[in-house]
Amino acid sequence: MQNNNLIKILKTFSRKEMTRFWEFTHSPYHNKHKELRLLIDYLNDLFPAFIEKKTNRKYLYKRLFKNEAYNQNRLALLFTYGLRLLEKFLSIEQYNKEGFQRHLDLLRQLRSKELYTYYEKKLPDLKTDVFNNLEGEVNNYALTFQMAKEKDLYFNQLYRTEYNRNLEEKQAYLDLFYFSEKLKDACEMKFRSQILKSNFDLDMVDEVIGTIENHYFDNPSLMVYVSIYKMLNAEDTSLYYHSLKIFNLYEQQFSKSELQNIYNYLQNYCIKQINQGKPSFLKELFNIYNSQMERGLLLVEGYLPEFHFKNMVTTGLRLNENEWAFQFIKDCQSLLKPSALENAYSYNLAAYYYNTQQLEKVLDLLIKVEYTDIRYNLDAKSLLLRTYFDLEEEEAFLSLTEAFRQFLKRNRLLSEFQKAGYYNLIKFSRKVFQIKSLIRYETKKRLKEDLEKIKFEIKESERVFNKGWLQGKINELFGSLHL
């Protein structure tokens, strides 16, 4: 039963959510099925440990129905009812979080029952909820459009003869909602097209941008997204600085979710430029990460995701901001999820020690830690490979590269794309290591020819992880041959 959808969803619940669902099940308004209450009672007692033995079909059936003969269809139907009730519970929980929608639906009911006096008494609640939702956000036009639409329906239903601007407001907010969503989707489609190597239909975007620039040039939200869309579509990197400037002017007017979205575009643009060989964007990326960190935008449920932690350390180290990186690792490790702490802390501290050439400390950290997460396992092996290379530990280096190769061969979770990148790292690092070991025995001419050949192979290879490091080691060897 571990793969049953009812149990799979319940496994994601907190204790509070499970208790609320249990209460929901026992409400006669929502559920009159007595056997279903027995099932949820049993699952509530098991929570959170839904172990295989106690959720086995026959075991579970016996607990629910005592000495009755096992009936697979009866149990299957009961779980189907349970799943339907759980889906209803999740929908209502979401509905309860949305005060605006509740107020809007109440007004619709009051209007349909022609309770106009009470309607006008409750209308301010809707306005209050709209502005509560809009706090710190300049572009939630969906709510203001729905409010204007409801007010106009009410006005029209009463056949009032006095002048009213509800219909005009509805149209104005509808335009803003359309332009805003069109721009956001256009930015997202442009971004995804670069990741997925595919084209999206972007009809009418140019017309929308022209309209915005002519009629809504004083709207901060729209103008920020116009600048981001242009940035994503152009080779001219000056548009990045233009977008950043406009965004910084109006940053305080955006909600947290909008800030995260916009920073994500700027962040990924910087990464793209770095990958295209523009190292000046490393500093930009570093600044963007720090801006988000200062505003708490990188935290998810109070924790700093480990990939953000790693990316910030890596960016700092690539800028040789070593002291900053060390302090960040020490100060921010407490923000990591407990389950991710050991891997993230050990790997990133080892990366700092490598960058500061404290190679023995790198070995102490990487050899002792068992990396259960495959991403850290791969990163740790790559870092260990570079460390043995620099220490000229030939036996350890060759042994590691062979073990690394076997690990890639056996692992079924890795894509062929990933495997190719690591296989090439192993292959080229072994070749460069071999040349390094032959410097005292081969002629300079032969060594230079071999290095040129490897340099060309690396350049022509579609995927090589740690390419910059390999190219740096080749350049070091070229330098030593000219001495």
Q: Residue 412's pLDDT is what?
A: 84
Q: Out of 78-92, 235-249, 361-375, 426-440, pick the least confident.
A: 361-375
Q: Which domain holds residue 188?
A: 136-278
Contact 369, 387 (CB under 8 A): no
pLDDT cut 90: percent of the chain above it? 54
Q: Out of 137-151, 177-191, 269-283, 457-471, pick the least confident.
A: 137-151
- pLDDT tens profile 312-333: 999 999 999 999 999 999 999 9
- pLDDT tens profile 74-94: 999 999 999 999 999 999 998
Q: Last residue of a domain, which of 236, 254, 278?
A: 278
The model carries a pTM of: 0.73
140 shares a domain with 252? yes
Q: Residue 243's pLDDT is what?
A: 94
261 shares a domain with 204? yes
Amino acid present at 466: N
- pLDDT tens profile 266-276: 999 998 898 77
Contact 352, 317 (CB under 8 A): yes
223 shares a domain with 92? no
Q: Is 303 helix (H, G, I), strand (E, B) or coil?
A: strand
Instruction: State the maximum Cα–Cα separation within the chain, in Å, rounded to a whole number.
Output: 101
Enter the DSSP assignment of 69.
Answer: P
- pLDDT tens profile 400-423: 999 999 999 998 888 888 899 999
Range 447-457 average pLDDT: 91
Higher pLDDT, 94 or 98: 94
195 shares a domain with 262? yes
Residue 183 lies in a domain: yes
- Please say whether the dihedral angle defined by the alpha carbons of residues 413, 415, 419 and 422, taken in this order, is positive or negative: negative
Contact 313, 328 (CB under 8 A): yes
Residue 44 lies in a domain: yes
Enter the DSSP assignment of 70.
Answer: P
Is the pLDDT assigned to residue 396 strictly greater than 90?
Answer: yes
Residue 359 lies in a domain: no
Q: Residue 162's pLDDT is what?
A: 65
Is the pLDDT assigned to residue 394 strictly greater than 70?
Answer: yes
92 shares a domain with 144? no
Is the pLDDT assigned to residue 196 strictly greater than 80?
Answer: no
Of the pLDDT bands very low, low, confident and very high (cuts 50, 70, 90), residue 141 is: confident
203 shares a domain with 90? no
Higher pLDDT, 2 or 361: 361
* Residue 448 Cα distances to 184, 430, 479, angstroms: 52, 16, 10
Is the pLDDT assigned to residue 350 strictly greater than 60?
Answer: yes
Amino acid present at 265: Y
Q: Residue 137's pLDDT is what?
A: 46
Q: Last residue of a domain, which of 250, 278, 306?
A: 278
Range 232-245 average pLDDT: 92
Is the pLDDT assigned to residue 136 strictly greater than 60?
Answer: no
Domains of the chain: total: 3
Residue 169 lies in a domain: yes
- pLDDT tens profile 8-52: 999 999 999 999 999 999 999 999 999 999 999 999 999 998 888
Residues 6+ apart with CB under 8 A from 220: 138, 249, 250, 253
Range 96-103 average pLDDT: 81
Q: Last residue of a domain, which of 278, 296, 327?
A: 278
For tokens 């809707």, name the residue: 126
